[in-house]
Amino acid sequence: MANANLAGLQRGSVAVVGAAESDLGQVAQGTHPMDLMAQATMRALEDCGLTLKDVDGLFVAATQVRMGPMAFAEYLRIKPKYFDGTVIGGSSFMTHVAHAQAALQLGLCSVAVIAYGSTQRSVSRAAASPRDFNPYESPYRPFMPSTAYAMAAMRHMHQFGTTREHLAEVAVSARKWALMNPKAWEKEPLTIEQVLNARMVSYPFTVRDCCLVLDGGGAIVMVRADRAKALKKKPVYVLGTGESLSHANISSMPDFTVTAAKESGAQAYAMAGMKPADMNMLSLYDAFTITPILFLEDLGFCPKGEGGRFVAGGTIAPGGKLAVNTSGGGLSYCHPGMYGLLVMIEAIRQVRGECGQRQVKNCNVALAHGNGGVFSSECTVIFGAEATL
């Protein structure tokens, strides 16, 4: 009953002790992605009372910094004993949590920092995330990644009767949460009609079905559980992790309505010894309105095909049955290119009880799910408060 990929990981052996965003939105011209990484890292260290001198594990992924751990170690002038630069898109950082847990458990490092930064709004998405040329896809000029997710949405609509209104409901729910998050980019209410009538990007997606394109970054600090309690904030323990690679290019996705979240979720639940009903809130990577719908299905919150009908009527909005993406998500809070670190930071803050107006009551367990590429890499982390150990 262990994580199939990382069978040696032990539930609750490590904890997140520090978490912070960098400045978000549109930063000053000339800001480097590593300026944002450093800002977030120092804020996350301040959050837990550790210093840069304590950091001996470094985990970095960024599209604008090709050799992340090396470049960021130089920026900080530290010599980490252990480092990992796995880049699998927006879910990279969930993978880093699992890999940091392994390194911490083995004593390969004792204070691990996971960091990300992007200036994609300032420099343009094309410059921040240039795409590989693929002779079997590029000639057709798909607008990636939107076109890939749009084709998944179309297949889901065809097979299960999901509607554009169902998709829009995800954006509207996210916006309602965002209005309770002072750090969210979007400040105005949003209606289903506004989503449907916005500029078309790749059918069935309008621009309101697509995530924001913003500058931003984040960092978290992890230590072994025995050290976590002595630090400033309540530790948030890693109860379960799961990682799964399905494909890289959308043409190779086996079934456009089923994601590898089925596998990463099953691994995370098994390691945590928990089930979907045990989760108090979900932080689901919402690059597009279809993504939380598929993840709700594949992570076991509704049957396959029911995701659209599940979110209808405000189920995942404030006051609904299931708290999802309470930050406002990538759709309304912030999406800096690879959004997975911010996905986890919201889950961590909910378990700490730091979310103010949008705080989920008695939130002891939160699931953070990351997605990378075009439904290509799916990684799940379950976080828990001390009471869950």
Partner 1 sequence: MSSLMEKSPLGVFQAHLTKGELAYQVCHDDNKPFFYPRAHAPVTGSENIEWRISKGFGTVYTTTVVHYKGEPPLNVAMIDLDEGFRMMSRVEDIDPMQVKIGMRVKFRVFPGTDKAAPYPVFTPAEGK
Q: Does 202 bind partner 1 (CB under 8 A)?
A: yes
Q: How far apart are CA 236 and CA 382, in angstroms?
A: 10
Q: How far apart are CA 21 and CA 343, in angstroms?
A: 11
| Contact range with partner 1 by CB under 8 A, out of 46-54, 99-107, 197-205, 339-347 | 197-205
Q: Does 155 bind partner 1 (CB under 8 A)?
A: yes
CB of 198 to partner 1, least distance (A): 11
Q: How many CA atoms lie within 13 A of 27 on its CB side?
A: 23
Q: How far apart are CA 224 and CA 265, in angstroms?
A: 23
Q: Does 200 bind partner 1 (CB under 8 A)?
A: yes
Pick the binder of partner 1 from 23, 137, 278, 306 (CB under 8 A).
137
Query: Helices then strands (H, E): number in the chain?
Result: 14, 11
How many residues contact partner 1, by CB under 8 A? 25
Q: Does 152 bind partner 1 (CB under 8 A)?
A: yes
Q: How many CA atoms lie within 13 A of 242 on its CB side?
A: 27
| Contact range with partner 1 by CB under 8 A, out of 27-35, 60-68, 108-116, 199-207 | 199-207
Pick the binder of partner 1 from 6, 70, 78, 154 (CB under 8 A).
154
Q: Does 79 bind partner 1 (CB under 8 A)?
A: no
Q: How far apart are CA 151 and CA 59, in angstroms?
A: 33
Q: Are 175 and 329 within 8 A, CB to CB?
A: no
Q: Does 150 bind partner 1 (CB under 8 A)?
A: yes
CB of 310 to partner 1, least distance (A): 22
Residue 168 or 360 with smaller CB distance to partner 1:
168
Q: How far apart are CA 309 and CA 167, in angstroms?
A: 10
Q: How far apart are CA 273 and CA 355, in angstroms?
A: 26
CB of 143 to partner 1, least distance (A): 5
List, in order, residues 6 or more apart from 316 with CB less than 8 Å away. Answer: 170, 173, 292, 296, 322, 323, 324, 325
Q: Which of 288, 255, 261, 244 is nearest to 144 (CA)?
A: 288
Residue 67 or 203 with smaller CB distance to partner 1:
203
Q: Which residue has the tokens 């995701």?
A: 307
379 burial (CB, 10 Å; 0-12 / 13-18 / 19+) is buried
CB of 218 to partner 1, least distance (A): 31
Pick the binder of partner 1 from 133, 136, 188, 319 (CB under 8 A).
136
CB of 144 to partner 1, least distance (A): 10
Q: Does 213 bind partner 1 (CB under 8 A)?
A: no
CB of 354 to partner 1, least distance (A): 40
3-class DSSP state of 332:
helix
CB of 197 to partner 1, least distance (A): 14
Contact positions with partner 1 (CB under 8 A) in 218-257:
250-251, 256
Q: Does 147 bind partner 1 (CB under 8 A)?
A: yes
Q: Does 338 bind partner 1 (CB under 8 A)?
A: no
What residues form DSSP beta bridges with 14?
A: 224
Pick the binder of partner 1 from 142, 242, 292, 336 (CB under 8 A).
142
**Contact residues: partner 1, CB under 8 A:** 135-137, 139-143, 146-147, 150-152, 154-155, 158, 199-204, 250-251, 256
